[in-house]
Amino acid sequence: MKLIVGLGNPGAKYAQNRHNIGFMALDRIAEDHGFSPWKARFQGEVSEGRLGSERVILLKPQTFMNLSGQAVGEAMRYLKLEAADVIVLHDELDLAPGKLRLKQGGGHAGHNGLRSMIQHIGAEFARVRLGIGHPGHKDAVAGFVLHDFAKADAEWLDDLLRGISEGAVFLATGDGGRFQNAVAARVAPARNAGRAAEKPAPTTKEAPHAPSAPDPQAPDSRTALQKLADRFR
């Protein structure tokens, strides 16, 4: 069994915030893979289903970001899981918008949700870091993450969430490489793929034949007058 956690803040006020991209990713997985309706449990909202051969519990803590570890710890104890069975999806300031990185273990890098999780369950859980970009100055970070995604972000955000959902089976079954490939195929599809096969080969006009040089061994059929004229050309 895997426990996949999305980090965010509860309530409609925060639903479209950059900080809530983890919630958004879980919502897309649950919808696309036919998971059960969300219900209140473990100080959060849970949805159950299968990804490939793996039984999966999706968890959105409702404790607010800086207390996320409380909900995750309660779920782990009840389900008898280890930290290695937990995968958390969270926003990442240090990645460009739409970029994704998968990491096992590590620190919290100032992220309050990860900080809380490490305090409650240790650091050996997997992290799916979802790039949202950086506002450019540390003093602007709080307002940036607690602000809704801009309209200009809609296209890459949708591609990223679709890619996560399409690769979710690989994520749950431990195939990180194929998971990241599935996301990359959606976010940055190969450009001009197949166009060379579809495009006809360019045609060129046939160049005029250059006059052939005279064969020195061929008999000279010129008249005496032609020979004389050729000498003065």
Entry field: residues in the chain = 233
**Tokens at residue 21, please?**
């991209």
Question: CB-side exposure of 14: number of CA atoms within 13 Å?
Answer: 18
How far apart CA 93 and CA 19 sit, in angstroms, is: 10
Q: Where are the alpha helices (DSSP H) in the chain?
A: 21-32, 68-79, 112-121, 141-145, 154-166, 168-172, 176-187, 195-198, 224-231
| No. of helices (H) and no. of strands (E), the chain | 9, 7
Residue 91: beta bridge partners?
A: 130
Task: Say which amino acid occupies 146.
Answer: L
Q: Which pair of tokens denotes residue 137?
A: 């100055």
Told to judge if 120 belongs to the known catalytic residues of this protein, a careful annotator would answer no
What's the order of all strands across the beta sheet hosting 100-104? 39-41, 44-51, 54-61, 2-6, 86-92, 126-131, 100-104
Query: What is the spatial distance between Cα 171 and Cα 150, in angstroms, rounded to a whole number?
Result: 28
Q: Which residues are catalytic?
A: 19
